[in-house]
Structure 1
Amino acid sequence: MGLWQEDGWPTSSIGDKLQQVGGTLTGVIDRIKERGLVRRERDTRIWRIWRIWLTDSGIQQSGKDNAQSQSDWRRSKSDWRRSKSSNV
């Protein structure tokens, strides 16, 4: 799964695919957004849904930094699981 394969995913679908909860996923998306690689927009039909779109820079980077992006997602997922287990 990747935005470089199909753009405009709802954040909920991204979270489901990555087995992430909203707060953790929001932080990751915020950091990627700060790098100028994605933009977040409300769905035009259902205002509660946010969709994630690659920017032009994100499209260019998806070819070069695909491995790094996947590594960032995996690291975030690992951090989330660690924090979840320590809160139990």
Structure 2
Amino acid sequence: MMEKSESLKLDQQICFPLYVLSKEITGLYRPILEELDLTYPQYLVMMVLWEQEGLAVSAIGEKLFLDSGTLTPVLKRLESKGLITRVRNKNDERMVLLFLTEQGKDLRQQACSIPQKLLSQINIKIEDLENFKETLTQLINNLKK
């Protein structure tokens, strides 16, 4: 008879509560982002570009931990919505740089209320949330080494 392993119990796993949390948080974003006609991955790309335009596709992929196969359809959709433009780098034709259109820049103002809308749905102190984010960032950095 095999010995039961405590380490295989669902409530002993770190991955499971992170998976559920990710699913639930993304679900909270969905109706908020629908008002802007954005999906969560599109919102992530827009946040990166609102912070700094003219980035290469590869740089955005690195920031968001997304490969080009996942990122390319998101970028094509944002371009078809008229929010971004893709421009070949004059110095290196293989590199595609991303820029916001006027419509993409204007969307930033509408998006400013998103973090507060989301926070209002989560019953947690801001300090606890900041500490949790710090711990998660440390875990991610440790895994990426």
What TM-score does the superposition give when structure 2 sets the normalisation length? 0.44
Aligned residue for 1:56? 102
Alignment: residue pair count: 68
Aligned residue for 1:6? 52
Aligned runs of 1:5-84 on 2, under 5 Å? 5-65=51-111, 67=114
Give the 3-state SS of the residue equivalent to 1:53 in structure 2: strand
Larger Rg: 2
% identical equivalent positions? 34
- The CA distance in 2 between the partners of 1:46 and 1:64, in whole Å, is 35
- Unmatched tracts of structure 1, length 5 or more: 68-88
Query: Which one has a larger percent helix, Structure 1 or Structure 2?
Result: 2
Alignment deviations for residues 1-51 of structure 1 (CA, whole Å, 9 cap, x no partner): 621121111000000010101111000001111110000000110111000
Query: Which one has a larger percent strand, Structure 1 or Structure 2?
Result: 1
- Structure number with greater CO (CA < 8 Å, separation at least 6) is 1
